[in-house]
Amino acid sequence: TADRMIAHGARGMMINFMCTWYPALRALAEDPSINVPIHLHRASHAALTRHPRHGINLPVTDFIARLAGGDMVHVGTARGKLGDKNKFTEIPQIMGKIQDPLEHLKPMMGICSGGLTPQNYHYSIDLMGNDIQLQNGGGIHGHPWGTKGGCIGAMQAVEAYMQSIPVEEYAKTHEELAGSIQAWGNKYAVASEESAVPELGEGSN
């Protein structure tokens, strides 16, 4: 499949390393014919990482992905729809594991996704720095003027941040950003309540 993607002009490929596991990632990274960035998703990681009494935490799983040769990896968001507010403290640990200098290893780019809207970008940038990818789905495609309007509004939100201007103020002279604010308001702009964690009690398997 990877060879067919390259043959058809792919400029990158995404794999879910939690499903393929690390040997498959390593094989792709070491293959000289795979000359495009490898984007790592981690859907289903909760089976390993969510419960506090067993498993491996995300800084470790993502660090091993770096050792195996990934180029970019999902790291979560400082505000969004996934996880709980107590998990935000884990994100700086992840960023350190994937970006701190380490012998000959290249740093990985952190990918923020899951409930991003132009109104909450600044939380993730403040937490993780500028060397991240803000990956939007509904936060762009759900714009009242469609995907193009969502893309422009998203870029305007980043411009506002880089100029230290509140997005609400910048939106007064940038109609696409105003459309984003109209669509999303403060949705996902505050930390979610702590997610329920199942207890291992009597009768648990």
Q: Which CATH class is domain 2-135?
A: alpha beta
Give the gyration radius of the chain's Cα atoms: 19
The DSSP element (H or E) to which 179 belongs, if any, is helix 175-184
pLDDT digit string (tens) for 127-180?
999 999 999 899 999 999 999 999 999 999 999 999 999 999 999 999 999 999
pTM score: 0.83
**Where along the chain do the CATH 3.20.20.110 domains lie?**
2-135
**Per-residue exposure over 58-76, b if at least 16 CB sit within 10 Å of its own CB, e if not:** bbebbbbbbebbbbbbbbb
**Tokens at 185, concatenated:** 């308001």
Whole-angstrom distance, CA of residue 186 vs CA of residue 189 = 5
Q: What is the pLDDT of residues 4-49, one digit of tens each?
A: 999 999 999 999 999 999 999 999 999 999 999 999 999 999 888 8
